[in-house]
Amino acid sequence: MTDESSTPTAAERTPEPLQSEAAVLAEARLRSRRAFIGLGLAGLAGIGGWGWLVSRPQDSGIAKPLRRVLDFNARLSSAYYKETRLAPEFARSRARNPRINGKVGLKSELDPVAWRLRVQDFATGNTQEFTLEDIKALPKIEMTTELKCIEGWSTVVHWGGARLSDFLARYPLAARPGTPQARAAYVGMRTPDDAYYVGLDMPSALHPQTLLCYEMNGMPLTAGHGAPLRLVTPLKYGTKHLKRIGTIAFSDTRPKDYWAEMGYDWDSGH
Ligand SMILES: Nc1nc2c(c(=O)[nH]1)N[C@H]1C(S)=C(S)[C@@H](COP(=O)(O)O)O[C@H]1N2
Ligand SMILES: [Mo]
């Protein structure tokens, strides 16, 4: 497994990638190496009977221990590649305002002062609340990426926000009880009214371009685009870019997903 194998080829790249891609990629490699080691330790713990593998996602439907190990190895490599693949980034001058698309969960008025991000601790089940200031206190990341909708349109957008991975490093709420270096397998997010909801596998959630965004094209998010905080994850279709995040929770089974329930691919990667 060489580093070169995970670098996008010229053909895969869309025009005008930024130089910063190299820096982001280097960081992604570093992070995925750490994740690789972390998953390896967690795997050994499971084989040793400490229960990690047993508590892995049920949708794998695997019964035999050997099968578990094989499947585990497959997941390990898939996690590695997911984290090192990057969506192309564009010159900021190409950014436009996307259309407002999808208003499920945005029907009611939202008081931005009263809003809190509610995150359920995987280990204890307790809910912790965060203000937008808490999110803004994390390192600010800006990126110009393509928002692709399954309906067939796409728009280059300049986003500003915090990495979900930085949030989960600062607040280890996804940590697995007893094995804190390992995390829950999935992240679920919902609007405050629970009307729209998405699920992400943990490698996608920890991807360096998966952001909790509070700015679009240099301006605070508008209500229609998901104020005060929305998800942006440019390796996936727009369906996963949940606007107006209310709640985040972690699980070992796939969280429910609005568009997956309508028959769309659960991962919705592209
Ligand atoms: N809360 C909520 N978030 C949502 C949706 C929705 O209906 N409700 N639609 C999704 C879809 S299908 C797309 S393409 C993007 C569009 O984001 P935009 O309105 O900022 O262009 O939002 C996503 N996030
Ligand atoms: Mo969409």
CA proximity to 95, closest of 133, 147, 37, 44: 147
pTM confidence score: 0.75
Ligand nearest to the CA of 108: 1
Q: Is the CB of 170 under 6 A from ligand 1?
A: no
**Range 136-141 contact pairs with CB under 8 angstroms and sequence separation of 24 or more:** 136/162, 136/214, 138/162, 138/163, 138/166, 138/167, 138/170, 139/163, 139/166, 141/211
For residue 70, give every residue at least 6 positions away whose Cβ sits within 8 Å of its Cβ, in sequence order, or none. Answer: none
Max Cα distance, the chain (Å) = 54
Ligand nearest to the CA of 110: 1
Hey, what are 17's tokens?
A: 């990638």
Say which DSSP state 269 is in. Answer: B
In contact, 119 and 249? CB cutoff 8 Å: yes
Domains of the chain, each with CATH number or no CATH: 85-105+112-251 (3.90.420.10)
Q: How many angstroms is it from 104 CA to the middle of ligand 2?
A: 11
Local confidence pLDDT in tens for the 270 residues of the chain = 334 344 444 444 444 445 454 555 555 555 555 544 444 444 444 444 444 444 444 444 444 444 454 455 555 555 555 557 999 999 999 999 999 999 999 999 999 999 999 999 999 999 999 999 999 999 999 999 999 999 999 999 999 999 999 999 999 999 999 998 999 999 999 999 999 999 999 999 999 999 999 999 999 999 999 999 999 999 999 999 999 999 999 999 999 999 999 999 999 999
Indicate the helix (H) or strand (E) that contains 257: none
CA nearest ligand 1 atom 13, residue: 238
CA nearest ligand 1 atom 2, residue: 243
How far is the C-alpha of 99 from the C-alpha of 70, rounded, in Å?
A: 44
Write down the mean pLDDT value for the chain: 82
